[in-house]
Structure 1
Amino acid sequence: MTVKTQNFPFSIALVAIISLAVLNFGYTEPTVPILGFHGIVDNQNNKQLSALVSEEMHYSKQELEKLLEHLIVNNYWFLSTQDLYDFFLTKSQAVPAEYRRKKPIMLTFDDGYKSVHTKLLPILVKLENKYGTKVKIVLFINPSRLTQKASDSKTHLSCQELRVGLQQGFYDIQSHGLNHRDLTTLTRREVINELLQARTILRRCTQDLDPQQVVASHFAYPYGAYNKQVESYVSRYYLSGYLYNDETLNYTCKNNPYQIPRLIVNYNKSPKQITKMAEAIAPVTAQACQ
């Protein structure tokens, strides 16, 4: 398996999609691209893929490092979920002066794969040492898979690993439901249990490092599946909810904080497909709000 399709690196394809998505930043219709990743695969050791998710949902470690370096050099601001909520959704706080000329972006990683910690965290440390820029990433975690010690699971993050990345300032730890179940298929009682137990376990894991209880304040719908009932329950326990729908957030418009769009990023999308997706998004973000 290779990280190139038609001799075109995926990192370049992602740069293209991001560039199109934020083309109007600083003008009349600025947007925030929110990228949705899963696990990370090392091109030099492809055999360590998780059996729990098809390999095309993972992304190349080597290509991701190139992408992150490009974003740093080109003056991007790596948002946390609370940043997005405060500065762009509710606009309850003014954007700090040092970020006003930066281009906002959010990098999210679903399902709590260990490869994010073992393969990506060292890259984040390396880039901070090189450029003096901290790349914040959002982890949407299913805590039913959360073990105590790093050695307890070969595929998913432990509480110990989450704490390390949080303490170093790289991880924004948020909820993805207790068991990664499609909430639209569950009973009221089951939905509430998925939402509350996830929040309780994540906060218990990080409580001494998170006195303001920022952890598990925001939610990503498993499979991107939601309906009005699910949204109403999420709104009781979380400040916002994230979809997985290949769209970008136009933050000059009035947005529903429980329907935050994300761009789907995976391993096997060809440059042609990614370009087509970006072109389909661009006209929407260029239109005035209705």
Structure 2
Amino acid sequence: MTYSKTHPVVKPPKSKNLPLSLAVSFIIILFLLIFQDNATVIPILGFHGVINNKNSVIQLEQGKMHYPQKDLEKFLEYLLINDYWFLSSHDLYEILSNQNHRHSDFFVKKKPIMISFDDGYRTVYTNLLPILKRLEKKYGKKIKVVLFINPGTLYKKGSVNSTNLSCQELREGLQQGFYDIQSHGLNHKNLTRLSNKNLIKELLESQNELRKCTHDLDPQQKVASHFAYPYGAYNERVQKYVSKYYLSGYLYNNKILNRNFLKNQYEIPRLSVSRQESVKTLIEKFDTTFDEKSIFDQKVNQEKIKTEE
């Protein structure tokens, strides 16, 4: 005879701690939402050159990275109207290192953003600078842009068909308060492929050349204090050497900066920009509440205010 035993089904006891853990999680999330300031998430956009129009295309693969002048002006005007705070590289460094508490007063009201341009194309002078001057005259606000420059490729007297800025053009934008000039290496080389000796040369000579160009305009030597990795290429060795000469390092990885998750100030993320992107697409990268119609409405309101004044 076979005996079969039936075992009672034992239900696991309900965890009395579950409601408590949910409550704690909710409080933590609520705390983060309430107490995080506007500078928790900071979009940093990486542009290159500025073309006159969409038909004015450089016949090279790199031409895809050059942004149309009209679209750029529309984008910058939207940021001005919406009271964005245009960060310099040193502003961001102070925010990340909490060295300057005066910025905390701005965080509640201001929305910080950084606009950067790599490689030192001359169109940053011929096509961008007029936009910055025009918008300052119209709105009474100055836009500061960060230029990551390769001084080894700057235009020099006697150069033929150079597409790069000259030292004098850099000085003009710096003196007028529109440019924040930082380093992008001496000759835009992939630093991960260089020997230690050549790596140091790229980093140190770039800094020396940029400071030599701007020495009388930059008594505090803020020029070439921060670095953007050419091609966004870096590794532990490169980062180690960059940290010897610079206060921070910028990537080009199409990610947005969140201060709560940034563990290393030599790995600051940037959003990449190509000419295929519309103004709407560009804004939606960092502003989820954006309504395209708002650009027109806000411009109309601005004009009404000016007329009434």
Q: Deviations over 1:225-269 (max 9, x none)?
A: 000000000000000000000111112345311000000001124
TM-score (norm: length of structure 1): 0.80
1:45 CA drift (Å): 6.1
Q: Which residue of 2 aligns with 1:106?
A: 114
Given the alignment of the two structures, is residue 128 of structure 1 paired with residue 98 of structure 2, yes or no? Answer: no
Distance 1:271 1:217, change over 3 A: closer
Partner in structure 2 of residue 145 of structure 1: 153
Distance 1:126 1:276 in 2: 25
Does 2:146 match 1:118? no
Change (3 A) 1:97 1:192: closer
| Structure 1 residue aligned with 2:96 | 89
Give the letter for the 1:40 counterpart: V
Query: What SS class does the counterpart of residue 140 from structure 1 fall into?
Result: strand
- Equivalent residue number for residue 37 of structure 1: 47
Give 1:210-249 correspondences, 5 Å limit.
Answer: 210-249=218-257
The aligned runs of 1:42-61 (5 Å cut-off) are 42-43=52-53, 46=56, 49=58, 54-61=62-69
| TM-score normalized by the length of structure 2 | 0.75
Runs of 4+ in 1 over 6 A off after TM superposition: 270-279
**How many residues end up aligned between the 2 structures?**
254
1:209 & 1:194 partners in 2: Cα distance? 23
* 1: CA distance, partners of 2:120 / 2:212: 17
Q: Is the 8 A contact 1:121 1:165 kept in 2?
A: yes
Quote the Cα distance in structure 2 between the aligned partners of 1:31 and 1:106.
11
Partner of 1:14: none
Partner Cα distance (2:174, 2:33) in 1: 30
Cα RMSD (Å)? 2.7
* Superposed displacement of residue 94, structure 1: 1.4
Equivalent-residue separation in structure 1 for 2:137 and 2:237 (angstroms) = 46
2: CA distance between counterparts of 1:121 and 1:128?
11
| Structure of higher RCO (CA pairs closer than 8 Å, 6+ residues apart) | 1
Q: CA 1:133–1:275 in 2, change beyond 3 Å: closer, same or farther?
A: closer
- Match runs of 1:60-71 below 5 Å: 60-71=68-79
Q: Deviation of residue 150 (structure 1)? A: 10
Counterparts of 2:226 and 2:188, CA distance in 1? 15
1:178 aligns with 2:186: yes
Task: State the Cα deviation string for residues 166-224 of structure 1 (Å, max 9, x = none).
Answer: 00000000000001000001100010000001001000000000010000000000000
Using the alignment, how far apart are the partners of 2:265 and 2:87 within structure 1?
15
Judge conservation of contact 2:71–2:279 (CA < 8 Å) in 1: no
Q: Over alpha carbons, which structure has the higher Rg?
A: 2
Q: Aligned equivalents of 1:75 and 1:249: distance in 2?
A: 19
Question: Equivalents in 1 of 2:250, 2:223: separation in Å?
Answer: 15
Find 2:266's aligned residue among 243, 253, 258: 258
> How much has 1:27 moved relative to structure 2?
5.4
CA distance in 2: counterparts of 1:150 and 1:136, whole angstroms:
31
CA contact (8 A) 2:74 2:279 kept: no
Where in structure 1 are there 5+ consecutive unaligned residues?
1-23, 280-290
Deviation of 1:89 (Å): 1.0
CA contact (8 A) 2:200 2:241 kept: yes
| Equivalences for residues 182-221 of structure 1 within 5 A | 182-221=190-229
